[in-house]
A = this chain, B = another copy of it.
Amino acid sequence: MSSTVIPQAQPNTAALATNSKHFPLDQWYVAGFSTDVQDAPVGRTFLNHKVVLFRTGDGQIAALEDRCCHRALPLSCGTVEGRGVRCGYHGMLYGSNGECLEIPGQDRVPAKAKVKSYHVREQDRIIWIWMPRTDGAEPTMQPPHYPHHDDPRYKFGTGSYHYQAPWQLIHDNLLDLSHLGYVHLKTIGGNARLHMNAPMSVSVEGDMVKVVRSMPGSTPPPTYKAAWPFTDLCDRWQEIEFHLTHLRIWTGAVEPGTDAIDDPLRGGFHMRGFHGITPETENTCHYFWSMSSNKHPEMPENIEAVIEQTAFTFDEDRGVIEQQHANMKAFGEAAEWVDIHVDAGANRARRIVNKLLSQQQQEPT
């Protein structure tokens, strides 16, 4: 599975003070996939917080501030043992709650020898981290469930990308799949006009945005053909759900004349994408994706190709989005955006983010 090395981020400590202006807090964000954290500590920055993820001896996931309180070495440069993570400089050992358990060569551990801890949950093969408004505050809800990783009808693969672009540009990209016809011709694209003219419905339920597009009578794009024996045309659907910290995208196609394109029980070829998008800083983010797909009995190896091509497709998106962001910076904030028809879903999602940011600016902590 494609997975890029995440470079060490340099969070802007000035920005940290204004996190509540930039990121909705009191939310479960995706910290990675279960397989990302094994025997070694993993350092990642979420919402300007440098965090080390590790597993204690019982396999429980833990997350601490990534900084030894002694001389500031990242704990992610250290080692993991049963009781916690040990600093790689002078061996101070920290437990899951951030308290220093041991200072080698010193009997007493002073009370102030501790680091901040974060609430984390591992569920559905996803690691979630609670980013609170108030340091140390308890989560006020459960992390979302994502059933498809453990659904026996599907097989999935994952990838992690680091983006030199703010998280909302990825929301925009995923909520408007009309770009497939221009950006992804080699994989999941298909006919550009068909994409641009596909009927699209946008609805909002609470803080969730749903965009549905249908493209009956489509020529199956390369990835679809690689995975499913479509004979000629197919009826394609795209169902996108924006949740604040991740998107769920259910796309696929049936042979015309079989199931209805909008029947949730439809057969055919399915691609269920999970897209965890977590800000790293104001201008960078993590993109943790999984793709779950169903095997055709005659093409059982199809899923490997689907995941490979998904990784390739998402790399194309990264190229576009990072160029877009660099250009936005070059032209500055005064350069306005002209909206077109495809932006309906993305703009609803932006309104939800803005509403949450505005609320947390007004509410006392």
Most buried by B among A8, A323, A337: A323
Q: C-beta contact mask, A317-341 vs B, less than 8 Å → 1, else 0?
A: 0001001101111111011111111
Assess whether B196 is in contact with A71, with CB atoms less than 8 Å apart. no
Q: Is A192 an interface residue (CB 8 A)?
A: yes
Q: A89 contacts which chain B residues (CB < 8 A)?
A: 179, 182-183, 320, 324
Q: Is A77 an interface residue (CB 8 A)?
A: yes
Q: Is A59 an interface residue (CB 8 A)?
A: no
Residue of B nearest to A181 (CB): B91
Bound form: Cα–Cα A20–B172 in Å: 37
CB distance from A28 to the nearest CB of B (A): 24
Assess whether B73 is in contact with A320, with CB atoms less than 8 Å apart. yes
CB distance from A110 to the nearest CB of B (A): 7
Assess whether A88 is in contact with B10, with CB atoms less than 8 Å apart. no
Assess whether B320 is in contact with A106, with CB atoms less than 8 Å apart. no
Assess whether A13 is in contact with B332, with CB atoms less than 8 Å apart. yes
Q: A8-B326, A323-B77 are in contact. Are A70 and B340 (CB under 8 A)?
A: yes
Assess whether A338 is in contact with B113, with CB atoms less than 8 Å apart. yes
CB distance from A73 to the nearest CB of B (A): 5
Assess whether B327 is in contact with A178, with CB atoms less than 8 Å apart. no
Bound form: Cα–Cα A336–B116 in Å: 13
Query: In the complex, which residues 83-110 of chain A have their Cβ closer than 8 Å to any Cβ of chain B?
Result: 87-92, 103-106, 110
Residue of B nearest to A48 (CB): B330
Q: A8-B326, A323-B73 are in contact. Are A67 and B331 (CB under 8 A)?
A: yes
Q: A323 contacts which chain B residues (CB < 8 A)?
A: 73-74, 77
Assess whether B91 is in contact with A192, with CB atoms less than 8 Å apart. yes
Assess whether B71 is in contact with A337, with CB atoms less than 8 Å apart. yes
Per a CB cutoff under 8 Å, which of B90, B193, B338 touches A340?
A: B90
Contacts A/B (CB < 8 Å), 18 sampled: A8-B326, A10-B326, A11-B330, A13-B334, A67-B331, A70-B338, A70-B339, A71-B337, A72-B324, A72-B335, A74-B327, A87-B182, A88-B320, A104-B197, A105-B193, A105-B197, A105-B340, A106-B341
Which 7 pairs from chain A and chain B are nearest by CB?
A105-B196, A13-B332, A104-B196, A69-B338, A106-B341, A73-B324, A105-B197
